[in-house]
Amino acid sequence: MRILILGGDGYLGWPTAMNLTANGHEVAVVDNYLRRQLCREENVEALFDVPNLHKRAELWEAVSGYKIPVFIGDLNQWDFVEEVFKKFVPEGIVHYAEQPSAPYSMLDRRAAMLTVQNNLSVTANLIFAVRQFCRNAQIVKIGTMGEYGTPNIDIEEGWIDIEHKGKKHKFLYPRQAGSLYHTTKVMDTDLLWFYVRMWGIRVTDLMQGPVYGLITDENKENEQLFPFFNYDELFGTVLNRFVVQAVAGYPLTVYGKGGQTRGYLNIKDTLNCVRLSLEKPAKPGELRIFNQFVETFSVNELAERVQRAGKQFGLSVEIKPIENPRKEAEEHYYNPVHTGLLELGLKPHYLTDDVLAKMLEIVIRHKERINKDAIFRGVKWD
């Protein structure tokens, strides 16, 4: 299948590109290096130097023989979108091309506006490009479990049947997100759902939980092919960050009571979920929604696991609850369904002590590169 990856430079974008080529697909990547730019501006660069996309594509071709064309440009600009879709008419599009950080979206007004405008405009341009250049192509969109928030009822997989005053209707599951970034993902879903109904486009919207890890079947610990590995509060997901904090001797910063529970998954599972969604696509006029995670943990549980894993390496890891800079429920009901991707064929990887040990081992090799000042920013939600 001819697959275009929007946001191909990101934490998930580049590993997805390699994975799809290794599984027989023809892949091109698009990026404008927005995330690199923001990390530089905020002085929170990744743990490893990451070669640019052209260089990574060369490295991957040298290792695997697979060629990945690279398009560098801004998908907010229609002339660029047009050029890409005319040159590489895709059968599937993976849409990662968004400002991906919740704390960044809460930093200040300019960061908020960038998040709203970038995320919505790229999604809208994608929809118009599909209509104009590849009407039957399928869109695989990365949403987030954060769209649902933490309601007091079970979270279904995207949809809910409501019985009310003796009548019934099936609705999109009501969404109530915990950051502006997550709210833009709710808006993306609003927008995609509208055009699915109007134009019969094909969309799989993946409500993904926080991802961890950096080793995939393709990079095989070749560090030149590693994804971005951010360990800061802005762009680092919580488990990756805790692993680095453990190595740096920086107490694990648990926000408030630490009962915040989310669904997590290994980066390997992300790649498989995206590939399965492409290979077993949504039908025309279908908005198919999967809850994309493998197991749930509270922040306290994650901290304790990292602490325990650290002991194997002689690390004495401290856990330090701090005042919560966010506005969120610190203890709550959380019972989200996640059977759709398993039914599609996902074979989950779980968060074992071995997985954590491997992550710690790699980070320890790069201990001297950790910038402790980057870890905590205390971006406040109110």
Q: Which residues bind a copy of itself (CB under 8 A)?
A: 78, 109, 112-113, 116-117, 120-121, 124-125, 128, 132, 151-154, 160, 162-165, 167-169, 171-177, 180, 183, 186-187, 190-191, 193-194, 197-200, 327, 333, 381-382
67 is catalytic: no
247/215 Cα distance (integer angstroms): 18
DSSP category for residue 178: S
Q: Which of 11, 16, 104, 185 is flagged as catalytic?
A: 185
Contacting residues for 95 by C-beta, under 8 A, at least 6 apart? 6, 7, 122, 123, 126, 139, 140, 141, 142
Residues counted in the chain = 382
- Closer CB to a copy of itself, residue 68 or residue 127? 127
195 is catalytic: no
| Cβ–Cβ under 8 Å, residues 115 and 121 | no
- Closer CB to a copy of itself, residue 63 or residue 329? 329
- Closer CB to a copy of itself, residue 160 or residue 248? 160
Residue 198, helix vs strand vs coil: helix
- Closer CB to a copy of itself, residue 33 or residue 381? 381
Concatenate the DSSP letters of all residues of 59-120 into one string.
HHHHHH-----EEES-TTSHHHHHHHHHHS--SEEEE--S---HHHHTS-HHHHHHHHHHHH
Q: Which of 11, 66, 96, 181 is flagged as catalytic?
A: 181
- Closer CB to a copy of itself, residue 173 or residue 290? 173
> Minimum distance between the CB of residue 284 and a copy of itself, rounded to whole angstroms?
13
Residue 138, helix vs strand vs coil: strand
> Minimum distance between the CB of residue 156 and a copy of itself, rounded to whole angstroms?
8
- Closer CB to a copy of itself, residue 185 or residue 268? 185
342/348 Cα distance (integer angstroms): 8
> Minimum distance between the CB of residue 164 and a copy of itself, rounded to whole angstroms?
4
Q: Which of 144, 184, 253, 261 is flagged as catalytic?
A: 144
71/61 Cα distance (integer angstroms): 16
> Minimum distance between the CB of residue 83 and a copy of itself, rounded to whole angstroms?
15
- Closer CB to a copy of itself, residue 197 or residue 311? 197
> Minimum distance between the CB of residue 123 and a copy of itself, rounded to whole angstroms?
9
185 is catalytic: yes
283/159 Cα distance (integer angstroms): 17
112/118 Cα distance (integer angstroms): 10
CA 300 distance to own-chain centroid: 22
CA 304 distance to own-chain centroid: 24
> Minimum distance between the CB of residue 237 and a copy of itself, rounded to whole angstroms?
21
DSSP category for residue 330: S
254/237 Cα distance (integer angstroms): 13
What would the 3-class secondary structure string for 242-291 be? HHHHHHHCCCEEEECCCCCEEEEEEHHHHHHHHHHHHHCCCCCCCEEEEE
> Minimum distance between the CB of residue 35 and a copy of itself, rounded to whole angstroms?
21
Catalytic residue list:
144, 181, 185
